[in-house]
Each structure stands twice: as C-alpha cells, then as structure tokens.
Amino acid sequence: MSRRPVVVVLGEHAQDRPEHLEPIADRVELRFTDEHGLPDAVQGAEVLFLWHFFSTAVQDVWAQCTGLRWIHVAAAGVDKLVFPALAASDVVVTNARGVFDRPIAEYVLGAVLAHAKQTHLSHDLQRRHVWRHRETRSAKGAHAMVVGTGGIGRETARLLRAVGMRVTGAGRTARTDDPDFGTVVPSHALVEHLGDVDYLVNAAPLTPATRGLVDAAVLTALPAHAHLVNVGRGESVVTDDLVAALRAGSLDGVSLDVVDPEPLPEDSPLWDLPGVVITPHMSGDVVGWRDTLARQFVANAERWLDGRPLRNVVDTRLGYVPGGGR
C-alpha cells in the first residue's frame, strides 16, 4: 500500500484544528501542530495548510521543507508568508481568494455611509445627551477611488456603485474600459488623480509597490473633506504621515480596519484623534468565515489529490493571484 501524502495543518495552538477536513482524512496523513512543533511536523510533508494565516514561521523551518510541494494560506494576503527562497522555489502557493470579497466590500460600504451620515458623531453626541441638528452628505454622486482592483476591490466597486457613487480604480496597469471601475489609474501616479476624490479606499495587497503608498504626498493631494478607508494592509499607509494629516485637519477622518503596527499600541495617537474609527482587522470575518476557509482548502486538496490544477495559485513574485487586473 502506497504511503499517504502528509498534510501539515499549522494552527496558532496545537489544538487549534479546523473542522470539515473529513473528506480528505482517509486520503492523507494529517499532522496538526503549532509553530513550536512545526520543525518536526514538516519532515516529509508535501502540503502545508496555514490555518494560522499570520504566521511567519515557514521561513524559519525552510531548511526542513525539502519535500514540500504546496502551501495554502487561509487568507487573501500572503505577505506574511512569502520570502525570497520560497518565491524562487517550485513550491506552489494558494490563498483564500474570494472568501472575503463580499464581507469586506460590505464593511467599506458601511464605513462610507457611516461617515456620510455622521453616524459616529451622532453616537458621541448621544452619549453626551446633546441634541444637535446637522446636515449630512449624500453618498450618491460622491467619488470613491479604490486602490487595488482584485476581487475585494471589484466587489467594493460594485457595492459603492449600487448606492449611486462614482467609482474609479488605481492599480498596476492603467486602462479606461474596466468593467467595474471604468477608469483605472496607475498606483504609482496616484497623487496626480486625487483632486476630486471624496473617499479613498485601500483594498490592495501588500507588495513592494503598495508598501507606504499612502504617504504625506497622497494625503495632502486629497481634498480636506475626503475620508480614507483602509481594508488592505496597515503598512500601505505611512502611520506618521496619517497622524500628521489628521492633526492638521487636511483629512476628514479615517476608517481603519488595518493599521501599522498591529495590534495598535495603547499609546498610539490614532486612538484619540477626532474622526478616527478603528476596528481590529475584522472586516472580512463574518459569521461562518472559518468554516468557509476550511471547506475551500478541502476542495483544493481534493483537486491536488486527483491531479487536477489547483485554484487561487499566487504569483509569489507579485504577491497575489494574477488575473484580477491589479
């Protein structure tokens, strides 16, 4: 009888085991581990399932990964995983593309509407028992520029368009006939296209091209009434520049689901600056999301076991799955 292929499941804790693996349990040898046990667990393993998707431990045990053929990350972003030796190898990397598109797009829509309708200010006034009539903005006709034209960015564009917003995109390749964005401007020239932007939404993966993309120059180029929504990665925004812009009043607040660093330190000025809304990297985590992630891996594992092409294959040089038009 031939040996079953070894699949290592890396959890945050050794007992942190995803459900719904039964369809492949009889076809593979499953090894569950945490980072402490990973050096031993990867010995002879062909597949590594990063259930602990923010782990950076693979690089530390790379010398022991001699039999590894495939790594699946239970996240859309692979920036915590990819390192030069992995990118130069034949190991295939896949991700959770598609799982978070709609939840994160809903988060962005909620953030935009909350800002336009001053929901957070109303809550603050309510807690102080203050009745203050105000006029709010309409989302209809407002211009949103979405940085990152992959699955998350596209679903975000569709939802924002549904409430009457004008949406454009920023990505790796400029074009004028995109089905979801119409016009896509090059991200490297972002600062040149922000004069009429009401909402700047970062939904891009973290790559060398997007690290520090939203800096002082970009923030200064935005109108003073503009609002920033970040659902990509915290490192895409220069935190010190963001704090300075907020203190100077050159930006009308931010909605941050991701920050740099994470977790946000207790003494960070972002906690208390006016107009700042912070959530702890949860925009895609709707009820049942872990079940969806586990089932997605199982479906791909069945393809691998049957010799069929894997889905969601990441180009490790780019840092994302090609084809989204980024």
In this predicted structure, what is the pLDDT of residue 16? Answer: 87
% of the chain with per-residue pLDDT over 90: 97
Sheet holding 47-50, edge to edge: 29-33, 6-10, 47-50, 70-73, 92-94
d(CA 191, CA 311): 35
Q: Which two tokens stand for residue 64?
A: 């022991």
Is it the case that residue 90 has pLDDT exceeding 90?
A: yes
In this predicted structure, what is the pLDDT of residue 2? Answer: 59
In this predicted structure, what is the pLDDT of residue 323? Answer: 78
pLDDT band per the 50, 70, 90 thresholds, residue 324: low
CB 313 within 8 A of CB 92: yes
d(CA 202, CA 113): 16
Report the DSSP beta bridge partners of residue 147.
170, 202
Q: Which two tokens stand for residue 55?
A: 């782990």
In this predicted structure, what is the pLDDT of residue 326? Answer: 40
Rounded to 5°, the CA angle 125-129-134 comes to 45
Q: Which residues of 76-96 are buried (b: 16+ CB within 10 A; e: fewer)?
A: bbbbbbbeeebeeeebbbbbb
Q: Which two tokens stand for residue 10?
A: 């890396």
Hey, how many other C-beta atoms are within 10 angstroms of the C-beta on 207?
Answer: 21
Is it the case that residue 314 has pLDDT exceeding 90?
A: yes
Rounded to 5°, the CA angle 154-157-162 comes to 130
% of the chain with per-residue pLDDT over 70: 98
d(CA 61, CA 35): 10
Mean pLDDT on 191-198: 98
N-term to C-term CA, the chain: 46
- 281 as an active site residue: the answer is yes
**3-state SS, residue 70:** strand
Mean pLDDT on 56-81: 97
d(CA 96, CA 110): 23
pLDDT tens-digit map of 131-177: 999 999 999 999 999 999 999 999 999 999 999 999 999 999 999 99
Q: Which residues contact 308 (CB under 8 A, 6 or more apart)?
A: none
- DSSP characters over 179-216: TTTEEEEEGGGGGGG-TT-SEEEE-----TTTTT-B-H
Q: Which two tokens stand for residue 4?
A: 């079953």
List the one residue out of 95, 189, 193, 195 whose CA is nearest residue 151.
Answer: 95
Is it the case that residue 1 has pLDDT exceeding 60?
A: no
- 129 as an active site residue: the answer is no
Which entry of 31, 52, 154, 281 is annotated as an active-site residue?
Answer: 281
Residue 250 half-sphere exposure, CB side, CA atoms within 13 Å?
15
CA dist 290 → 49, 79, 293 (Å): 13, 20, 5
Which entry of 13, 262, 302, 308 is annotated as an active-site residue?
Answer: 262
pLDDT tens-digit map of 244-292: 999 999 999 999 999 999 999 999 999 999 999 999 999 999 999 999 9
Which entry of 35, 233, 235, 326 is annotated as an active-site residue?
Answer: 233
CB 284 within 8 A of CB 58: no
pLDDT band per the 50, 70, 90 thresholds, residue 325: very low
Is it the case that residue 321 has pLDDT exceeding 70?
A: yes
Mean pLDDT on 44-63: 97
Is it the case that residue 3 has pLDDT exceeding 90?
A: no
Specify the residue for token string 């003494």: 267
Show the domains of the chain with their CATH numbers: 6-99+287-305 (3.40.50.720), 101-278 (3.40.50.720)
Q: What is the mean pLDDT of the chain?
A: 96
pLDDT tens-digit map of 231-255: 999 999 999 999 999 999 999 999 9
- 302 as an active site residue: the answer is no
Q: Which residues contact 67 (CB under 8 A, 6 or more apart)?
A: 6, 44, 45, 46
